[in-house]
Amino acid sequence: MEQAHPKATRGRTNGGDPYRGKWLTLSNTTLGVLMAMINSSIILIALPDIFRGVKLNPLTPSNTQLFLWLLMGYMVVTAVLVVSFGRLGDMFGRVRMYNLGFAVFAFFSILLSVDWMTGVAGTLWLIIMRIFQGVGGALLFANSSAILTDAFPPDQRGLALGVNQVAAIGGSFIGLILGGLLGPVDWRLVFLVSVPIGVVGTFWAYFNLHEKGVRTPAKIDWLGNVTFAAGLVLLLVGITYGILPYGHNTMGWTSPKVLAMILGGVAILALFGFIETKVKDPMFRLPLFRIRAFTAGNLATLLSAVGRGGLMFILIIWLQGIWLPRHGYSFANTPLWAGIYMLPLTAGFLLAGPFSGYLSDNFGARPFATGGMAAAAITFVLLELLPADFNYVWFALLLLANGLAMGLFSSPNRAGIMNSLPARQRGAGAGMTATFQNSAMVLSIGIFFTLIIAGLSGHLPTTMYHGLVAQGVPKATASRVSHLPPTSALFAAFLGYNPIRTLLGGALAHVGSAKAAYLTGRTFFPGLISPPFMTGLRVAFDFAAAACAVAGVASWFRGGKYHHTDEPEPTLTMGTGNGGPVHVTTATGAGPAGGAAGPAGAGARTGVNGGQQPAANDALHGLGR
């Protein structure tokens, strides 16, 4: 038996405003998601300063795993936990879980900034605290969309979720700039900057946010939670380790350990799906995927994130390893400037997101989400046409266009997903959407790195060998260095290290000062790596364009404008009728003009003209009861 939380009934009389305080709710949830997403990327540019601060060389083979865990541990843990935390929000209160997320995030941000150790111990401390910080981030991600859906009426959710979604995606790019600015001042500031925001947000949320959703009392699905977490962790960790060298192979996709983790993860996730069909109170109700708008929206989310997720890393390597050195920037300064030169991408998100969310409230998600994915696919094809040493004006315009396209898609798509969910399942549904998005980003990084490394492996060894020998490097040394996995050079460029200095080390002393200066200068490595890098990059852009095109097709099949209406919503005062106010209860499907109610328990599809059409096939009869 389900019941609304007592707080959910306050202000829901006919004469009151059931959505009072909605803008305050939007501002707080946007702050939380912005903080969580900034921290997902803030270390990307600051990693060199962090590793110098803890006195660890991340490019030493024995330290590569530490580098990867510090880089990706946060993303992995948020991807794994958001569904469970969303379900807990449905059961115990979404605001309560969200408030806890703010507090957890702030606490572990403090612990990250007080790391007193160095070397491996200091790095392990950062990794562990970063994982716990990700727990706070998962609590914020899992419940913010559901809280907003509860707080706003259906005809304003697109705008609200648009602002929230833009904060989420835009925050990942803002983090690049903050990391580049704060890291050189003091690496601890990279983590400390979240503390005042987290503390203020915790108290602000505690005193101002109120439960407006429907609670679903149930037993915790321990078996489902454990199998889902175990399966997804194995899968994502396997993908992460797949980009590392294995034996004489440039990547680890043939490693028995990697294969065992990936196949084992898939098998456990299949077991999770079976378990969810058998338990009384499942962690996630798989019948939700019978809702066409929910399924199509999540498939589009997954594919768009696969196309977009690795883009940030590849563009950073393109800028730091090739373009910026050729234009006079030292390798040590390239991390900050890479973030600055990618600002047009952020601007596009910020401009298109709220606007497209607002329009989707009136016209539905399909035209904007589908159009956004089609436009994104075109921008990836156009980026493929740029040379390695491009004209920045064209690069900036294409980044802006890509950001506009992604913003055009993201806000309406998220609003369409959340509007399709029954009120009792909004937390779990939002968590599943966040899992698709965050998991796809990890998968995308693995795919993009694999494509780039595959392109480098075919041509870079020969090109590097002849280039080094021509500059006086002994043939034995040149042969050894040229056959090292390209991962080393890519990671060095990504971290702001001079790749050739890193690869040659003490061998530079044997070639003379003039040739050593040329080898470690701003032209030798960019010229060496450009042709094979561009080969892999074009394949990666083709993949991204294809993923976005399929996401557009999936988005189109979501159907027209749709709000799930299988349970009571607040009674709204719409004006005055014959002798008194006219009230509309959205649960019945009645339109403003008093149209006929839909069948009990069924959803209703609302057309752009305000009329309604039955959508019984898309609804879940009795879901959650």
Instruction: Report percent pLDDT > 70 for the chain.
Output: 86
Whether 617 is in a domain gets the answer no
Q: Are residues 155 and 239 in the same domain?
A: no
Name the pLDDT band for 442 (thresholds 50, 70, 90).
Answer: confident
Q: Are residues 201 and 81 in the same domain?
A: yes
pTM: 0.80
Average pLDDT over residues 363-375: 91
Q: Are residues 376 and 419 in the same domain?
A: yes
Is the pLDDT at 63 greater than 80? The verdict is yes
Is the pLDDT at 375 greater than 70? The verdict is yes
Cβ proximity of 99 and 206 under 8 Å: yes
Whether 79 is in a domain gets the answer yes
Helix axes 157-182, 119-151, angle to 10 degrees: 160
How high is the pLDDT of residue 614?
A: 36
Please give the DSSP secondary-structure letter assigned to residue 610. Answer: S
Residue-wise pLDDT tens digits, 209-257: 888 766 767 788 889 889 999 999 999 899 989 988 888 888 899 999 9
Whether 201 is in a domain gets the answer yes
**562-563, strands of its sheet edge to edge:** 562-563, 604-606, 612-614
How far apart CA 412 and CA 257 sit, in angstroms, is: 40
Whether 482 is in a domain gets the answer no
CATH code of the domain containing 168? 1.20.1250.20
User: Residues near 441 by Cβ (< 8 Å), separated by ≥ 6?
Assistant: 75, 79, 305, 308, 309, 310
Please state, in angstroms and as integers, the Cα–Cα distance from residue 185 to each residue in 57, 181, 341, 353, 493, following that order. Answer: 20, 7, 20, 33, 21
Name the pLDDT band for 619 (thresholds 50, 70, 90).
Answer: very low
- Single residue among 240, 263, 280 that ends a domain in this structure: 280
The pair of three-digit structure tokens given for residue 304, joined into one six-digit string: 């768009």
Range among 56-70, 155-169, 261-275, 484-498 rated most confident: 261-275
Whether 156 is in a domain gets the answer yes
In whole angstroms, what separates CA 353 from the centre of its chain? 15
Whether 210 is in a domain gets the answer yes
How far apart CA 315 and CA 452 sit, in angstroms, is: 12
Whether 405 is in a domain gets the answer yes
In whole angstroms, what separates CA 124 from the centre of its chain? 24
Average pLDDT over residues 447-456: 87
Q: Are residues 342 and 194 in the same domain?
A: yes
Is the pLDDT at 573 greater than 70? The verdict is no
What is the dihedral angle through the alpha carbons of 611, 615, 621, 625, rounded to the nearest 10 degrees? -50
Q: Are residues 320 and 415 in the same domain?
A: yes
Q: What rounded mean pLDDT belongs to the chain?
A: 82
Cβ proximity of 193 and 178 under 8 Å: yes
Q: Are residues 237 and 364 in the same domain?
A: no
Please state, in angstroms and as integers, the Cα–Cα distance from residue 590 to each residue in 14, 423, 586, 596, following that order. Answer: 16, 18, 6, 6
Q: What angle do CA 382, 415, 358 make, to 5 degrees?
A: 80
Average pLDDT over residues 116-135: 95
Q: Are residues 215 and 90 in the same domain?
A: yes
How high is the pLDDT of residue 132?
A: 95
What is the dihedral angle through the alpha carbons of 580, 585, 589, 590, rounded to the nearest 10 degrees? 0
**DSSP assignments along 340-361, one per residue:** HHTHHHHHHHHHHHHHHHHHHH
Cβ proximity of 564 and 421 under 8 Å: yes
Average pLDDT over residues 467-472: 90
Q: Are residues 233 and 311 in the same domain?
A: no
How high is the pLDDT of residue 44?
A: 82
Domains of the chain: total = 2
Which range is least confidently modeled, 274-288, 433-447, 520-534, 604-618?
Answer: 604-618
User: Residues near 156 by Cβ (< 8 Å), separated by ≥ 6?
Assistant: 22, 361
How far apart CA 226 and CA 219 sit, in angstroms, is: 14
How does 541-565 read in b/e, with b if 16+ C-beta sit within 10 Å? bebbbebbbbbbebbbebbbbbbbb
Q: Are residues 176 and 270 in the same domain?
A: no
Cβ proximity of 40 and 172 under 8 Å: yes
Q: Are residues 263 and 304 in the same domain?
A: no
Whether 188 is in a domain gets the answer yes
How high is the pLDDT of residue 1?
A: 38
Q: Are residues 191 and 338 in the same domain?
A: yes
Q: Are residues 291 and 264 in the same domain?
A: no
The pair of three-digit structure tokens given for residue 600, joined into one six-digit string: 């009990």
What residues make up the domain containing 226? 221-280
- Cβ atoms within 10 Å, residue 55: 11
How high is the pLDDT of residue 563?
A: 66
3-state percent helix, strand, coil for the chain, nearest multiple of 5: 70, 5, 25
